Amino acid sequence: MAETNIVELKGLRAGYGEVQVLWGIDLAVPTGEITALIGSNGAGKTTLMRALSGLIPVQSGSYLSGGVDLSTANAVTILSHGIVHVPEGRRLFGAMSIEDNLLMGAYSRRVSSTELKRDLNRVYTTFPKLFERRYQAAGTLSGGEQQMCAIGRGLMGAPKLLMIDELSLGLSPLLVEQLVAALRTLNAEGMSILLVEQDVITALDLCHSAFVMDMGRIVRSGSGQDLLADPIIGEAYLGVLKS
Amino acid sequence: MFAAQILINALVLGCLYACIAIGFSLVWGVLNVINLIHGSFIVLGAYLAWSLYQGFHVSPWYALVIAAPLFFVFGYVIQRIVLNRVITAPVLVTLTMTFGLDLILNNAMIYYFKADYRKLTLKPPMGSVSIFDVVVPVDRLVATIAALALTGILYLILRRLRVGRAIVAVRLDRDAAVLMGVDVNAIYAIAFGLGTALAGCAGVLMALIFPISPLTSTAYLGKAFVVCVLGGLGSVSGALAGGVLLALIEGVGSAMFGPAHATTLSFVLLIVFLILRPQGLLGRKGFE
């Protein structure tokens, strides 16, 4: 039987050296769903992502995926559990070609070249723009194409859970729509997605359930529709005035 | 014809300079370590070729094949055991560390081989070829071709192999490479091993042309430094461009002002480049 939650956190604490950022996060990311993480700047969303992908150590608390404790695991081990992080600001290898960037996404999977080719083709089918420019340096792409390349690179890691930090940052509404459509398709094919997003309306509209973070804690959770209708969320993040 | 001779000399010497510099450039670019042992690695490679030829009549061309894996392992182990401990420290710390290691290696060579200058003389000599009035010694020509081949091999490793892509990725964005599941410490060790192997092979080639002594290590290190600054860090084409440019400057400089001033001229150029074009001929600004 499949696990109901792909990732479960209990009382997770993490930070940078002496600076504590996350003060006990309880969070469950349901398998096969799109989960959104929203909150203002400095709430700790990116730090949570970095802790989940092993870029920074978990100080205390539990981090389970598929019954395995990942709280002391390094980035390579976490990746081997199918948890893939598409970082904020894309972080592409700018001087490398798109195709080499995508191949780097599959670095930790020791698979045959035919399988690699098939996965490359899958990414190119999802994002045909990338195929047209596959030999072009990733640094020369537009913002939207870079985000496609970053997500494509994440997909090459064969994720069970794809964590995307700031999907829409600096992109035009039209591009965001395209990316959102691509994410819906991937989710429909069975991929779980955890999305950190500044654009609260887009995020709540896309997700099945959402968590609201503030000051390093989860302060609210619910379905996307419930949170959209929540007056406190409306006031804090959507600029809706109290009536 | 005189001009043509200078040009050919510069091309031949330039490829050898590139070969000297390329391992240094790789280590500097990927690890952000200014590797002061590089010159001594080259000298050690020269001694290896000399010892193999004198002791066992192994031709320097075979010595290349022996030197590459030997030096790779040597470099890999040094990085794993010593340098990886300080790799995240500020550049001055790693610089001091490589300085210390260089003192150990260089003095060990002085102790073991003595400071006498030695020369690897091929018997029978390979002679020289002349096209019109341009004369090129054959051993130099073959060494140049070998240097180009080594440079080409590094290029192919970085471009075509999985491990090469990881080396480039770590150079471009360390954290993003970690997210891809790259074991950064292993990649550092491999990059340092490659740099050391290239230094060792360059040393084998130098043994054919220049006298061998532990005291020449600083000259090699200086050349590597200038080539990197002229050509730009971390790219194979940059090292080639820098190498040929340096050899050209030295060649033209010696012809115009006398050989005594060639080195002066190259270091003046180094300073000019550092002021006007710090990223070098082919280096890209702002990418580590």
A163 and A243 belong to one structural domain = yes
pLDDT score for B106: 95
B284 occurs within a structural domain: no
DSSP string, chain B: -HHHHHHHHHHHHHHHHHHHHHHHHHHHHHH----TTHHHHHHHHHHHHHHHHHHH---HHHHHHHHHHHHHHHHHHHHHHTGGGTTTS-HHHHHHHHHHHHHHHHHHHHHHH-S--B----SS---EEEETTEEEEHHHHHHHHHHHHHHHHHHHHHHHSHHHHHHHHHHH-HHHHHHTT--HHHHHHHHHHHHHHHHHHHHHHHHHHS-B-GGGHHHHHHHHHHHHHHH-TT-HHHHHHHHHHHHHHHHHHHHHH-GGGHHHHHHHHHHHHHHH-TT-SSPPTT--
Beta-strand pair A5-16/A58-65: antiparallel
* Position with higher pLDDT, A87 vs B265: A87
For an interface test with B, which of A91, A100, A104, A165 has the most B Cβ atoms less than 10 Å from its Cβ? A104
Residue B286: predicted pLDDT = 36
Residue B177: per-residue pLDDT: 94
- Residue B182 is predicted with a pLDDT of 94
Domain tally, chain A: 2
Q: Is residue B183 part of a domain?
A: yes
- pLDDT, one tens digit per residue, over B31-41 is 888 999 999 99
Same domain, A120 and A66: no
- Read off the pTM: 0.88
Residues A138 and A183 in one domain: no
- A164 shares its domain with A110: no
CA–CA gap between residue B160 and residue B238 (Å, rounded): 19
Same domain, A121 and A193: no
For residue A172, which of A145, A192, A139 has the smallest C-alpha distance? A145
Same domain for A138 and A93: yes
Range of the domain at B154: 21-216
Query: Are A95 and B284 an interchain contact pair (Cβ–Cβ within 8 Å)?
Result: yes
Express each pLDDT in A24-35 by its tens digit.
999 999 999 999
Chain-chain contact of A93 with B172 (C-beta, under 8 angstroms): yes
Structure confidence at residue B283 (pLDDT): 64
pLDDT of residue B186: 94
Q: Which residue in A76, A95, A96 is closest to B181 by CB distance? A: A76
Which of A114, A136, A158 marks a domain boundary?
A158
Report the candidate in A221, A241, A217 with the shortest Cα–Cα distance to residue A231.
Answer: A241
Question: What integer pLDDT is reported at residue B284 of this predicted model?
Answer: 55
Q: Looking at the structure, do residues A228 and A189 belong to the same domain, yes or no?
A: yes
pLDDT reported for residue A57? 93
pLDDT at A149 exceeding the cut of 90? yes
B270 domain-assigned: no
- B176 vs A: CB within 8 A: yes
Question: Is position B250 within any domain?
Answer: no
Cβ-based neighbours of A2, under 8 Å, separated by 6 or more: A31
| Burial degree of B240 (CB within 10 A; 0-12, 13-18, 19+) | buried
| pLDDT averaged per 10 residues, chain B (length 288) | 82 90 90 92 95 91 93 96 89 92 95 88 80 82 91 91 92 92 94 95 92 92 90 82 89 84 84 83 52
Which CATH number is A29's domain given? Answer: 3.40.50.300
| Min Cα–Cα distance to chain B from A107, Å | 6
Residue B195 counted as domain residue:
yes
Are residues A181 and A62 part of one domain? yes
Mean pLDDT estimate for chain A: 90
A75 touches chain B (CB under 8 A): yes
pLDDT of residue B288: 32
Q: Which domain holds residue A143?
A: 88-158
With an 8 Å Cβ cutoff, are B180 and A55 in contact? no
Position A17 scores a pLDDT of 85
% chain A with pLDDT above 70: 96
Same-domain pairing of A154 and A164 = no
Of the candidates A80, A95, A104, which has its C-beta nearest B180's C-beta? A104
Q: What per-residue confidence (pLDDT) applies to A243?
A: 52
Q: Are residues A173 and A213 located together in one domain of the fold? A: yes
Residue A59: helix, strand or coil by DSSP?
strand
How many domains does chain B divide into? Answer: 1
End position of a domain, from candidates A128, A158, A188: A158
d(CA A28, CA A4): 9
Q: Quote the pLDDT of residue B114.
A: 86
Chain B from 178 to 207: CB within 8 A of any A CB? 178-183
3-state secondary structure at position A67:
coil
Q: Is residue B153 in some structural domain?
A: yes
Which segment of A207-216, A228-237, B155-164, B222-231 scores lowest on mean pLDDT? A228-237
**Final residue belonging to a domain, choices A110, A142, A158:** A158
Q: What is the reported pLDDT for B140?
A: 86
Q: Are residues A132 and A237 in the same domain?
A: no
Q: Quick check: B287 and A105 CB within 8 A?
A: no
What pLDDT shows up at residue A230? Answer: 85
B260 occurs within a structural domain: no
Residues of chain A with Cβ-Cβ distance to B172 below 8 Å are 93-96
Residue predicted with more confidence, A165 or B236: A165
Q: Give whole-number Cα distances, A138 to A85, A88, A91, A100, A143, in Å.
A: 18, 16, 10, 9, 10
**Same-domain pairing of A167 and A228:** yes
